[in-house]
Amino acid sequence: IVNQRCWAEIDLAAFERNVLGIQSALPAGVHYISVVKADAYGLGMPQIVRRLMQCGVDYFAVANVAEASEIRLMGAGWPILVLGPVLPHEMGRLIEDDLIGTVSSEEEAIRLDALGRSRGVPVKVHLKVDTGMGRLGVWHEQALKLIRKMDALAGLHISGIYTHFSSADTNPDYTALQRRRFTAVLKETGERNWLVHADNSASLESYCGDSAFNAVRMGLLQYGV
């Protein structure tokens, strides 16, 4: 871009070392969800994602369907989770591009179920639980009720459940409270073959390897922050 006088040079080898370092620090069997939203935090999504594919990350996570579709063009089959809400007119893309959507409410579940049944393909979703962030997700005390309703919807395929910590970098007590609330939901839900994830970069220090959490969502840490 000719009229800009500053640029960032990204050392992809250093980036890869970060990712491999995180991967080898995780307990065996914990899945690595690589967060590449917002143009991979401004570093350049295509280059970063290509490198992450070589590193063998398990999942990609992005904010919206447009970002997810861009990754889908780069590789078939890679699981891609859309963290943000999917607007009604975008929902078809979840099936067309084989994406995993996020459900936070009964209304969304019902809409996606109708879509899945009309297309004859169940829509893949993860359920988001609000444990105290107040942004997205079903409130943790209402999660079980929603799960039971979703269990009865044949147009949905639930393959995961997650929550997000609001202040993992500044408030360990509140993060611990959120963790307890999420764990309580998991206990009520019972044994399922789901991807269970809560941790971002800042909460990794308090990640408990022997818990039910079998995946982490890494953003900043993989970029060297």
Ligand X SMILES: *Cc1c(COP(=O)(O)O)cnc(C)c1O
Nearest approach, Cβ of residue 202 and ligand X (Å): 6
Q: In whole angstroms, how far apart are CA 83 and each of 5, 54, 101? A: 34, 23, 7
Query: CB of 182: closest distance to ligand X in angstroms?
Result: 13
> Whose CA is closest to 197, among 34, 3, 8, 64?
34
H runs (alpha helix) in the chain: 12-25, 37-41, 45-55, 65-74, 91-96, 106-119, 143-151, 172-189
Task: Please tell me the distance from the alpha carbon of residue 21 to that of residue 224, in angstroms, as a whole number.
Answer: 11
Q: Nearest-5° angle of CA 161, CA 166, CA 167?
A: 135
Among 35, 94, 147, 185, interactor with ligand X by CB under 6 A: 35
Residue from 79, 155, 160, 219 touching ligand X (CB under 6 A): that is 219
Q: Segment 54-113, which members bind ligand X (CB under 6 A)?
A: 83
Per the CB < 8 A criterion, the answer to whether 68 and 97 are in contact is yes
User: By rule CB under 6 A, what string of x and - marks binding of each residue 139-168 to ligand X?
Assistant: -------------------------x----
* C-beta closer to ligand X: residue 60 or 109: 60
Rounded to the nearest whole angstrom, what is the least distance from the CB of residue 112 to ligand X in the complex? 19
Q: Is 48 helix (H, G, I), strand (E, B) or coil?
A: helix
Report in angstroms how near the CB of residue 189 gets to ligand X at its nearest. Answer: 20
The reply on whether position 195 binds ligand X by CB under 6 A is no
* Residues at the site binding ligand X, with contacts judged by CB under 6 A: 35, 37, 83, 164, 200-202, 217-221
